[in-house]
Amino acid sequence: MSNSLTGAAIVGGVCGQPIKHSMSPVIHNAWIAAAGLDAAYVPFAPAADRFETFIDGLRGGAVRGLNVTIPFKERALAAADTASDLARMAGAANLLLFGDDGRIHADNTDGPGLLGAIAVQTPGFDVTAAPLVILGAGGAARGAVAALLLAGAPEVSVVNRTVARARDLADAFGEKVLAHGEDSLPDLLRRAGLVINATSLGLGGDAGPAADLTLTPESAVVMDMVYKPLRTEFLRRAQAAGRRTVDGLEMLLRQAIPTFEAIYGQAPSSAVDVRSLALKLLGEA
Ligand code: ATR
C-alpha cells in the first residue's frame, strides 16, 4: 500500500466474515503501488448481524467501491438501490459502488472472472458450442450459470446431490437450464463441452466431486472454482485424462481486473505479476 495517502485518496476495500485470508488487498494494493495512485484498498469484517448497518454508513462517499465476499454476497445485492443484469441473474453481488448522491449500485465481476479465466487458460474454447455441466447448486453455481447464459451458452445442466436445490436454480433461469441428480452425470459427461466444479468439494485437498472425467469428449474443458489447493484432485484427474483445465485462482484474479477499473477508474498494470503474488500467499510458490 502507498505510504503517502493524502486527504484526496480514493478508498476501496473488501468486506467479508472472516476476511483475514482474503488475497484481494494484496492484489489491489500491488496495482495501486505500481500506478503510483493516491489510493488504498482496505479489508473490513463487520459483524454478521451488522452488515446492512455497515453498508448503509458508507453511502455518499466514505469509500468509492467495496468487494463483498462470503457470507454477504446475497445481502449485498439486497442492500443496493440498483443492480447490473448479471448481479440480478446471479442473485448476488461481489461489488458495491457508492455514488456521490448516496445511492449504491451492485455489480458482479465473478462472471467476467469466470469467462476471463476460461479465455486465458483454454484459448479458443467456445462456451456457445456445446452443452455445459455445472456441479453444485449453491451461490457459486448460480453465478456461473448466470455468466454462461449471458455469454450465450445453449444448454446448462446443473447436477446436485440435493436435486430439489438444482430444480430451484433451474426454475429461476428458464428452459436453457436443466436440473439433474448425480445419477445422470455419466450421460451428461459424455456430451459435455465444459464441466465446472461449483461445489465446495475438493477444498483443502479432499477428493473432490466423484465425476468420471474420462467419459468426457477429448475436447472438453474442466474447470474447478476451488483454488485451495491450486491443483485440486478434480483438476488432476482431468489432466490425467488429457483434458484442458481452468483453475479457480485465475477466476479470482480475473474478477479483480474489472473491479479495480470500477473503483479506481483505470485498468490495472499488466506489469504486476499478480498470479505469482497470489501463489506465494497460497504457499504454492
Ligand atoms: P456456495 O454459495 O459457495 O456455492 P453452498 O451454497 O453451501 O456454497 O453450496 C455448496 C454446494 O456444494 C452445494 O451444491 C452442495 O450440495 P447440496 O445442495 O446437496 O448440499 C455441494 N456439496 C457440499 N458438500 C457436498 C458433498 N459432500 N457431496 C456432494 N455435494 C456437496
* Predicted pLDDT at 3: 65
Q: State the first-to-last Cα distance of the chain, in angstroms, to the nearest integer.
A: 22
Note if 73 is an active site residue. yes
Residues of the chain short of pLDDT 70, as ranges, are 1-3
Residue from 20, 73, 176, 280 carrying the catalytic annotation: 73
Q: What is the pTM (predicted TM-score) of this model?
A: 0.94
What domains can you pick out in the chain, each with its CATH number? 10-108+255-281 (3.40.50.10860), 111-246 (3.40.50.720)
Cα 136 to averaged position of ligand 1 atoms, centre (Å): 6
Ligand 1 neighbours, Cβ below 6 Å, are 136-141, 160-162, 165, 199-201
* Predicted pLDDT at 2: 47
Cis check for the bond before 229: say yes or no (omega within 30 of 0). Answer: yes
**Span 136-181, pLDDT tens digits:** 999 999 999 999 999 999 999 999 999 999 999 999 999 999 999 9
Question: Could you please report the per-residue DSSP string of 114-150?
Answer: HHHHHHHHSTT--TTSS-EEEE--SHHHHHHHHHHHH
Cα 199 to averaged position of ligand 1 atoms, centre (Å): 5
Residues 243 and 236: their CA atoms lie apart, in Å, by 10
C-alpha torsion 170→173→177→181, nearest 10: -10
